[in-house]
Amino acid sequence: MSGGSGGSSGWVPLEANPEVLNKYLERGGVAGGCRAVDVLGLEGEPLEWVPRPVLALLLLFPCSERYETHKRQESQRIKDHPQHVSPNVFHMRQTVHNACGTVALLHCIANNADKIQLQDGCWLSKFLQDAEGLDAVARGSLLENCAGVVSTHLELAIEGQSALPNADDPVYHHFVAFVHKDGHLYELDGRKGFPVNHGVSSPDTVLDDSIRVCKEFMERDPTDVNFTVIALTASE
């Protein structure tokens, strides 16, 4: 499941599986150009099974005390030593509890809009047009009030759960996205006030570069097995 904090009343979390995400893409108006697939292992043969090219990576991880400590330290480090962030990176804040699955998927789509075909007039295309030029907080508010986003999220959250949680139930896992933009790998998290630049990357290496950072998440909580990695891949 996907959770994460936000400032408004909660949604039912999305289940972290490619079937749900692919239905989300279809209902959002994606006519072609991408699909979600499981990444079953972070090295060796399982990585070879992931279709290429990879557009972005989604990571669901436990929000442990170790992660929260790292998050605070990371924020302070970036404040002390400002990072380079391309002005072309699309980042939005998460204002709704349990909306992190939707936010992460939209981060993947928005930062690969040139590679993904959208149907004319679909709610996803309209949202991206309306969000252009807004800051991250305003984009979060726009998302919260977009009827197409809300209905798609809630329909698929209900459809994807075997045991449906309440919207206000505590959820201890969170979705983030990893995308390549203008020569660097960015971690995009709706709970953070800024993208995190994880170094040099390229369209050809975005999978390996993202996996490297995913391993860092796992190394912070080596006894927890509740991690899920999903790739958004290009398709004909």
The catalytically annotated residue of 34, 100, 108, 146 is 100
End-to-end CA distance of the chain: 29
108 is catalytic: no
Listing DSSP states for 149-204 in one string gives: HHHHHHHHHHHH-SSPPPTTS---EEEEEEEEETTEEEEE-TTSSS-EEEEE--TT
Residue with tokens 């390229």: 202
Q: Which of 105, 98, 100, 101 is nearest to 167 (CA)?
A: 98
Judge contact between 72 and 120, C-beta under 8 A: no
Asked if 111 and 205 touch (Cβ cutoff 8 Å), the reply is: no
CB of 134 closer than 8 Å to CB of 46: no
Distance, CA of 29 to CA of 165 (rounded, Å): 27
DSSP-assigned letter for residue 95: -
Q: Is 100 assigned a catalytic role?
A: yes
With beta carbons less than 8 A apart as the criterion, state whether 178 and 206 touch.
Answer: yes
Cα gap 134→230, rounded to integer Å: 28
Q: Which residues are catalytic?
A: 100, 174
